[in-house]
Structures are given as C-alpha cells and as structure tokens.
Amino acid sequence: MTKGMPGRLEGQIAFVSGGLRGIGLAMVERFVTEGATVVYSDLDPEDSALVAETSARLGPNVSYVRADVTKENDWEAVRDYVEQRHGALHILVNNAGIDLTGPVETTALNDWHRIMAINVDGVFMGTRIFTPLLAASGGARRGGASLINVSSIMGLVGYADTSAYNASKGAVRMFTKAIAIEFCTKKMPIRANSLHPGFVHTPLLQAGFDRWVAKGAAGSSQELIEAMAGLTPLGRLAEAREIAAASLFLASDESSYMTGAELVIDGGWTAQ
C-alpha cells in the first residue's frame, strides 16, 4: 500500500483457509496491508507457537481459528466466528490444499479420497457455508463479494504422476464456473473465480521435492527446483507474494466484471 493512500481492501472482511503457511499466508499478509480485516484458519492449535508468532506479527486486524477444511463442524464454527465477530464477509479464499504424486496404478484409494476431501470437499463446504453471508455482504460492494478458489495449473493441463492432484484441481476449476453462473442467475452479489498458480516455492512444494529426493528421483531438492525453473518460460519458480498480488486483484473491486474466470499466474508454463 502506498503511504497515505487508502488500501485497496479498506473496510473489507476476508477469510483465508490454510493461511498459516505458503500462498495463504502471503494472501493474509497482503490483504491486511491493503486495509482488510482478515480471519485465517489452519490445522495448527490456536495456542501453538507458530500461531502466536504469526498473529503477533500480523497485528490486531488478523485473527486465527483452528479448522480442518474437511470437517463440516469446523466450517460451522468458522462461519459462526466470522458472523459474530464481524457480521459480514466480503472475500472468501478457499486456499487450503495438499498435493499427491505417484503413478496412477499405485495410487491408493485412501490417498485419492484424502486429497479429494481436502482439495475438493473443503472448497465445496467453504463455499456452501459462506454463500448466505457473502450474498448478504456483497450488495454493499460495486463488484459484489469475491470468492476465490485456489486451483493450479494442474487444474488446466495434465502432468505425469500427478493424476489425483490434477483431478482435484480440475474439479475446483469447474465447480467455480458452475457457482459463478448460479450466483449470476439468482442475482446474488457474489463473483467466483479460480486462481491457477504455477510452481511456487512454499512448504508444500518443498515437501513434494523432498519426497522425490527420498525416492531417488533426484540428488537434491535444489536440483529439482532448478529443473522446474528450467522448464518454466520465465526461468524461475514463483514467490508466494506474486500469487497473493493476483489474489488481491480478484479480491478487490478492480476485478468487478470478472466472474467464472481463471486467473493463471504461472511464469508462462501453460502458454507453451
């Protein structure tokens, strides 16, 4: 935010799932800098050292709720918390997600169900539980409330040994288009768009690379980072703050004519 200028999200209430690390954390940081009041959730206990340190750093306009996106009860508790504390929600980011790699013929059904539960059911439940509050809050904004579902380039193009993740992110992409049309048809003031990051250096990506190294697929995670950078037209991985910058555009009224769309931030990966 430029000093002295109002923030781009002044007066807005936002919720970000999976906001304690990586892309979600960068979004929380950017939204609060732009004047929003932010509630974020993750799996870590509310009294954990990481939550205490993060919340202290982010200041009084940010609060944390422990919630597992696969649990309906947790979503109800989050909705009650936001409603009671803030009485409105203008921006919902369904960000929490996990990855899963491996050949299709050895992917266990349990692992398939687990990734779908977090990456797909979590997005569905977050959308469902917050739709009434978003609709009630969105009328006050030119562009309506903004719902952002985090997909991936893996929701746009296939990749070897990533079929479960590909399928989950493809579902997020199509679900987002369907609800965008549903909201328009019913004249509900909510825009819904999906966000499609390329390779972003976060704890999730690092853990994935570490697993490949453990399987003997590469000598070190640095080797994998360099290989992925080499396959990316811009020649490097993204930083989480670069994805947060795109989410800020979707969250703000600057994207007021955008709904049902895909915002791709991938260093040119899917342009090839």
Considering the complex, state which of residue 183 and residue 269 has its C-beta at the smaller distance from ligand NAD: 269
Q: Does 62 engage in binding with ligand NAD (CB under 6 A)?
A: no
Considering the complex, state which of residue 12 and residue 152 has its C-beta at the smaller distance from ligand NAD: 152
Give residue 185's identity as a one-letter amino acid code. T
Binding-site size for ligand NAD (CB under 6 A) equals: 26
Burial class (CB in 10 A: 0-12, 13-18, 19+), 262: middle
Taking the C-alpha atoms of residue 113 and residue 81, their distance in angstroms, rounded to an integer, is 29
> Which residues ranging from 205 to 244 are in contact with ligand NAD (CB under 6 A)?
205
In the complex, minimum distance from the CB of residue 221 to ligand NAD, in angstroms, rounded to a whole number: 13
> Which residues ranging from 8 to 47 are in contact with ligand NAD (CB under 6 A)?
17-18, 20-24, 42-43
Q: Name the token pair of 153.
A: 């380039």
Q: Does 200 engage in binding with ligand NAD (CB under 6 A)?
A: yes
Taking the C-alpha atoms of residue 272 and residue 235, their distance in angstroms, rounded to an integer, is 13
Considering the complex, state which of residue 37 and residue 152 has its C-beta at the smaller distance from ligand NAD: 152
Considering the complex, state which of residue 122 and residue 138 has its C-beta at the smaller distance from ligand NAD: 122
Q: 226: which residues sit within 8 A by CB, 6+ positions away?
A: none
Whose CA is closest to 129, among 91, 171, 72? 72
Helices (H), the chain: 22-33, 49-58, 72-86, 109-116, 122-138, 163-185, 203-214, 221-231, 240-251
- String marking each residue 105-144 x if it binds ligand NAD according to CB under 6 A: -------------x--------------------------
Taking the C-alpha atoms of residue 175 and residue 169, their distance in angstroms, rounded to an integer, is 10
Catalytic residues: 165
Considering the complex, state which of residue 119 and residue 138 has its C-beta at the smaller distance from ligand NAD: 119
Q: Which stretch binds ligand NAD (CB under 6 A): 28-36, 89-97, 177-185, 246-254?
A: 89-97
Q: Does 204 engage in binding with ligand NAD (CB under 6 A)?
A: yes
Q: Which stretch binds ligand NAD (CB under 6 A): 47-55, 107-115, 126-134, 198-206?
A: 198-206
Q: 250: which residues sit within 8 A by CB, 6+ positions away?
A: 146, 148, 193, 195, 258, 263
Give residue 147's identity as a one-letter amino acid code. L
Residues that bind ligand NAD (CB under 6 A): 17-18, 20-24, 42-43, 68-70, 95-98, 118, 150, 152, 197, 199-200, 202-205
